Amino acid sequence: MTWSFPAGFLFGAELRVHATFVLLLLWITVSSFLDGGVGAGLFDGLFVIALFASIVAHEIGHLWVARQYNVQAKRVTLLPIGGVPDADMVGDTPVQDIAIALAGPSVSLGLWIVLSIFESAPAPSNVFSTPNADTNYLHLLALANLYLALFNLLPAFPMDGGRILRALLVRNMVVDEANRIATMAGQFIGFGIGLWGLIDGTAGLVLVALFIFLSSTLASPVAVDRNPFEDISIPRSLLNTRFESLSIHDTIETAVAISGQTSQQDFPVFDEDRFIGFLTRDSLAVHMNQTGNRTEVGDYVTTNAPIVQHSSSIEDVRRALEEQDTRLAAVATATGDMIGYVTLEKIKEFQKANRERL
């Protein structure tokens, strides 16, 4: 149940109107009709329709810029506080995401400026309280567009500001962490606004808080998006399968010699057939210049290297490495035979290169 109905297409995206929009229209029209008669009812009904048009204009901003980047949203759902595009309206880069997110509020700010030029009456206290037939129509509409812009710029996912926040975060972390933080900011701000409304006794603020929560459920495919790397097992290209290994009884001198011949930096170390850990490039670098170093490799071997199965997801391997605070993992078959190893740098490089496309 989506509680929305189709209302045509916009730049190839299906426009859906959320039932709350119709309820708002009915509620405002009927209540002002009961309060102030036909004139008031008509005025406020028309106001909600103009608000609807303002939100469509805001969405046109998003969709037009998205189209410049060849990003096509399948669907946009209109709520009384703005539109919520589907999860698929994501650009190729964080910069594109920011441009797409900024486009809607820019249109709303533009409308605010234009409408403000045409209006002259004094400001009402709250645009979300039932408008009065004797307040200036254009002024109210100008304010509604200003609120639309500012409200959507709150760093609260799935608001536009939340999308900007996510795009900024995604440069420094994996997508699901950025999603989680942006969504948490959204819930925190929504809760704050709701609480403020309750304490202040302002029904409009409580309504806005409810709409934020409603938006976040509509956008939940993005908000709770699974980290795509959970589903990818270690790619062959990341796996070192051709390597020299050392015995714990080999000397550092031997390791340095092999490293010089093969340019291999890290060495898996075995005790008989049993994998023990790695002689790392860092540890090797420390002893590199001590020619004639006959210390056994076993004295310098790491013992915290995780052994992961070849079928493990790349994200599981990264987690295992970060938990052990180490950068090398041994990769083994289901029967326990070591087939290679993988480094944290390679995993991070792969994730960085692929996170935007997945």
Q: Identify which of residues 160 and 266 has a Cβ nearer to Zn ion in the complex.
A: 160
Q: Does residue 135 contact residue 126 with C-beta atoms inside 8 Å? A: no
Question: Shortest distance, CB of residue 109 to Zn ion, whole angstroms?
Answer: 12
How many residues appear in the chain? 358
Question: Shortest distance, CB of residue 82 to Zn ion, whole angstroms?
Answer: 5
**CA dist., res. 175 & res. 171, Å (int):** 9
Instruction: Answer yes or no whether residue 86 interacts with Zn ion by CB under 5 A.
Output: no
Residues 227-256 that bind Zn ion (CB under 5 A): none
Which stretches of the chain are assigned E, i.e. beta strand?
4-10, 13-18, 75-79, 82-85, 246-247, 267-271, 274-279, 307-309, 328-332, 338-343
Q: Identify which of residues 83 and 94 has a Cβ nearer to Zn ion in the complex.
A: 83
Question: What 3-state class would DSSP assign to 297?
Answer: helix
Phi, psi of 127 (to 5 degrees): -70, -25
User: By C-alpha distance, which of 192, 155, 23, 160 is closest to 82?
Assistant: 160
Q: Identify which of residues 155 and 228 has a Cβ nearer to Zn ion in the complex.
A: 155
**CA dist., res. 52 & res. 223, Å (int):** 25
Q: Which residue has the tokens 């605010």?
A: 112
Question: Shortest distance, CB of residue 149 to Zn ion, whole angstroms?
Answer: 9
Question: Shortest distance, CB of residue 153 to Zn ion, whole angstroms?
Answer: 9
Q: Does residue 316 contact residue 241 with C-beta atoms inside 8 Å? A: no
Question: Shortest distance, CB of residue 8 to Zn ion, whole angstroms?
Answer: 19
Written as six digits, the tokens of 172 are 């420094």
Residues 150-189 that bind Zn ion (CB under 5 A): 152, 160
Neighbours of 123 (CB within 10 A): 13
Neighbours of 117 (CB within 10 A): 10
Question: Shortest distance, CB of residue 17 to Zn ion, whole angstroms?
Answer: 16
Q: Which residue is nearest to Zn ion (CB)?
A: 104
Q: Identify which of residues 20 and 152 has a Cβ nearer to Zn ion in the complex.
A: 152
- For residue 122, give the DSSP letter: P
Angle 94-118/137-152 helices, nearest 10 degrees? 160
Q: Identify which of residues 44 and 59 has a Cβ nearer to Zn ion in the complex.
A: 59
**CA dist., res. 276 & res. 59, Å (int):** 59
CA 161 from chain centre, in angstroms, equals 11
Question: Shortest distance, CB of residue 322 to Zn ion, whole angstroms?
Answer: 36
**CA dist., res. 329 & res. 278, Å (int):** 9
Q: Identify which of residues 63 and 308 has a Cβ nearer to Zn ion in the complex.
A: 63
Q: Residues touching Zn ion: how many (CB under 5 A)? A: 3
Q: Which residues pair with 313 in a beta bridge?
A: 233
Question: Shortest distance, CB of residue 24 to Zn ion, whole angstroms?
Answer: 18
Question: Shortest distance, CB of residue 102 to Zn ion, whole angstroms?
Answer: 9
Q: Which residues of 325-357 are buried (b: 16+ CB within 10 A; e: fewer)?
A: ebbbbbbbeeeeebebbbbbebbeebbeeebee
Q: Identify which of residues 104 and 162 has a Cβ nearer to Zn ion in the complex.
A: 104
Q: Identify which of residues 77 and 312 has a Cβ nearer to Zn ion in the complex.
A: 77
Q: Identify which of residues 156 and 331 has a Cβ nearer to Zn ion in the complex.
A: 156
Q: Identify which range of 149-157, 174-182, 296-304, 306-314 contacts Zn ion by CB under 5 A.
A: 149-157
Residues 87-126 that bind Zn ion (CB under 5 A): 104
- Interface residues with Zn ion (CB under 5 A) are 104, 152, 160
